[in-house]
Amino acid sequence: MSLKDYLKEKVLVADGAIGTYYSIKTSQNTTISELANINNKYVVEEIHNEYIEAGAKLIRTNTFSANTISLDCNRVKLKEIISEGCKIASNCVQNKDVFIGASIGPIPERIYLEEEDILDEYYYIIDTFLESGVKIFVFETFSSNKYIKKLCEYILSQHINIEIIVQYRVNSFGYSKEGISARRLIEEAREINGLIAYGFNCGIGAGHLYKIIRLLDLVDENIVAIPNAGYPDIIYDRTFYIDNAKYFAEIMYQIKELGVKVLGGCCGTTPKHIQEINNLMDKDYTPALIRQNSKILNKRKKVTVPNNFYNKLKNNEFVIAVELDPPFNGNISKIMEGANRLKAEDVDIITIADSPLSRPRVDSIIMANKIAKEVGIDVMPHICCRDKNVIALKSIILGAHIENIRNVLLVTGDPIPSGERIETKSVFNINSIKLMELVKELNYEFDEEDAMIYGGALNPNLQNVSKLINRINKKEKAGAKYLLTQPIYNDKALENLKIIKENTNIKILGGIMPIVSYRNAQFLKNEIAGIEVPDNICNRFKKDMNRKEAEEVGISIAIDYAEKIKKCVDGIYFMTPFNRVEMISKIIEGIK
């Protein structure tokens, strides 16, 4: 009988951990169990037999870390370790109704390794297993499907009747180390040809895994649940797990009642845990019906927030965005007045900077929320990676969504000036692209029509346009829908913008920041990285100009470049200098 046919009629109880149990049996906490396939075969065989005697119907080969990177060995040695591991398992299941699964763990990704190198290593491992006659592959503890689809295709190209299982490792919040949610991992697994079962192993205990699986929208499918015994403790440099076999089995039975088809154990579990599962099952191996979560889903209050700005942008209508800087103190009267004036100018959206130039201002999310509620205009707060770690970034994005903010600009952020680094530390836990990937994952938890729409920054002043295009493609792949550019003051940046627009599909808003004085022009030219102000622009300002004269020059320059930019972008992004909204109003009037 094939494993797939078995799962149609029965729940499969798999074995438990090998690595941690091997450490218990040998009292060697740092020993790599895979090497025992050659130098301590008796103990490996004993472990397999104990799990079979405990009622396991699937044992996994002692090969989880069997790759040249993890074991620091050559392929000749690796082949011997895998082949001997298969022989030991085969000897243990002779004349027994027990399946063997080829255990394959993730190959550590190193800086010097390309994706092709890692795939080649996987292919070599797979070929070795196939030569040993294995019919079931178990990919364990993966954090994404980056390689899984290609590996399944390769396996099936070599042998069409091979059955494949994949198990993902997630944390107690339901996310893998790549930031991918349990929900999306399962959704992607459903689309991979060749997978007969998929689910989760390692990383968390049974209690947390139960909560994660309970919230998934399962269909008629073979879900795997192979959690740890719990969470370990380190005593005198040795790792210990709680002896909790009865508790573990009780939770596993509850997981089985959710409709899960494959039960087993990972780190910290022993044959005792598997025996307790079988005792509690009382030979009741009939699969439970998948429990639909419609009640849970219906409790979620669905609120679809109008997004006039993005709707207009995606329908190829020209848009106007205006940036306002939140104040350094609690006086918000000027920014609120500016927001109301911009609404009257039919501006599509107001963007709020996140402490630009690393100078602390009122929080961009809070300020944007107040403007949206009191002014009644779409807002786009900036969120930068400089000051917050992943936990804080995720929290504020969720908070913004709750407050009905749907547009955000995700940027890496300006570094803190070197003179202030003694007192203030940057975080930079992730960069803007990783932040985009995080929001992309969060969007899987929201209704599709109510997702967060986010964009990023673009600096067309950089010389290497092909490098820019490559980074834009990465941002678009990470889910960015639009890019806002740095201020443009020269024809070279404009030419770069045209090339970028011709070679990408993403929406672009060209940046315009009017210069307000001679001093302002010199400051931008000489002190702000990423902004290029040519001499012919600076020379249009004189030291003895009064404010009105200088502003008129700044407005004239801005109108000239706004007219040029309009021909090759999807909208204009005005950065308001010192919150002088009246200048922006005059420029908007000048380009209509």
Same domain flag for 413 and 534: yes
Do the domain assignments include residue 246? yes
Categorize the per-residue pLDDT at 298 as very low, low, confident or very high, splitting at 50, 70 and 90.
very low
Q: Is the confidence at residue 439, as pLDDT, over 60?
A: yes
Q: Whole-angstrom Cα distance, residue 249 to residue 325?
A: 57
Mean pLDDT (the chain, rounded): 89
Distance CA 250, CA 261 (A): 16
What's the CATH number where 203 sits? 3.20.20.330
Strand 238-240 relative to strand 223-228, pairing: unpaired
pLDDT tens by residue, 61-72? 999 999 999 999
The pLDDT value given to residue 573: 97
Place of tokens 């709680």: 242
Residue percentage of the chain with pLDDT more than 90: 72
Q: Are residues 349 and 237 in the same domain?
A: no
Highest mean pLDDT among 188-197, 228-237, 286-295: 188-197
Which of 298, 332, 358 lies at the terminal end of a domain, its last residue?
298
What pLDDT does 96 receive?
94
The pLDDT of residue 29 is above 70:
no
Please indicate, yes or no, whether residues 334 and 233 belong to a single structural domain of this protein: no
Domain identity same for 324 and 273: no
**Of 298, 329, 358, which one is at a domain's C-terminal end?**
298
pLDDT at 308 over 80: yes
Within a domain: 469: yes
| Per-residue pLDDT at 297 | 43
- Examine the domain organization and report whether 113 and 250 are in the same domain: yes
Q: Judge whether residue 422 has pLDDT over 60.
A: no
Q: Quick one: 275 and 350 in the same domain?
A: no
**Are 98 and 155 in the same domain?**
yes
Same domain, 25 and 128: yes
Element (H, E) at 188: helix 182-190
Q: Which domain holds residue 262?
A: 3-298
Span 362-409, pLDDT tens digits: 999 999 999 999 999 999 999 999 888 888 898 999 999 999 999 999
Question: Please, where are the H alpha helices in 72-114?
Answer: 75-93
Does residue 331 share a domain with residue 259? no
CA distance 520 to 410: 27
Residue 332 confidence (pLDDT) above 60: yes
Task: Give the torsion sign (CA, 202, 204, 209, 215).
Answer: negative
Question: How confident is the model at residue 281, as a pLDDT?
Answer: 80
pLDDT in tens, 254-287: 999 999 999 999 999 999 999 999 998 866 667 7
Q: Confirm whether 313 is domain-assigned.
A: no
The answer to the question of residue 48 being in a domain is yes
For residue 348, the domain's CATH number is 3.20.20.220
Q: 271 and 344 share a domain?
A: no
Radius of gyration from C-alpha coordinates of the chain:
30
Q: Once rounded to an integer, what is the mean pLDDT over residues 230-250?
A: 68
The answer to whether residue 130 scores a pLDDT higher than 80 is: yes
Residue range 413-423: average pLDDT?
60
Helix 148-158 / helix 115-131 crossing angle, nearest 10 deg:
40
| Same-domain check for residues 254 and 152 | yes
Q: Which two tokens mark 413?
A: 């952020």
Q: Is residue 308 part of a domain?
A: no
Out of 363-372, 444-453, 475-484, least confident range: 444-453
The count of domains in the chain is 2
Task: Choose one of 263, 298, 333: the last residue of a domain.
Answer: 298
CA–CA gap between residue 98 and residue 298 (Å, rounded): 42
Check pLDDT > 80 for residue 30.
no
Residue 126 contacts residue 151 (beta carbons within 8 Å): yes
In whole angstroms, give the CA distance from residue 447 to residue 496.
37
Contact 140, 15 (CB under 8 A): no
- Whether residue 309 is contained in a domain is answered as no
Q: How far apart are CA 223 and CA 200, in angstroms?
A: 8
Residue with tokens 């963007």: 351
Same domain, 322 and 293: no
Phi, psi of 135, rounded to the nearest 5 degrees: -110, -10
Nearby residues of 307 by Cβ (< 8 Å), 6 or more positions away: 378, 406, 407, 453
How far is residue 568's CA from residue 508's CA, in Å, rounded to a whole number?
Answer: 9
Confidence at 177, pLDDT banded by 50, 70, 90: confident
Is residue 412 within 8 A of residue 385, CB to CB? The reply is: yes
Q: What is the pLDDT of residue 294?
A: 46
In a domain, 203, yes or no: yes
Q: Tell whether 306 is covered by a domain.
A: no
At 446, phi and psi to the nearest 5?
Answer: -100, 160
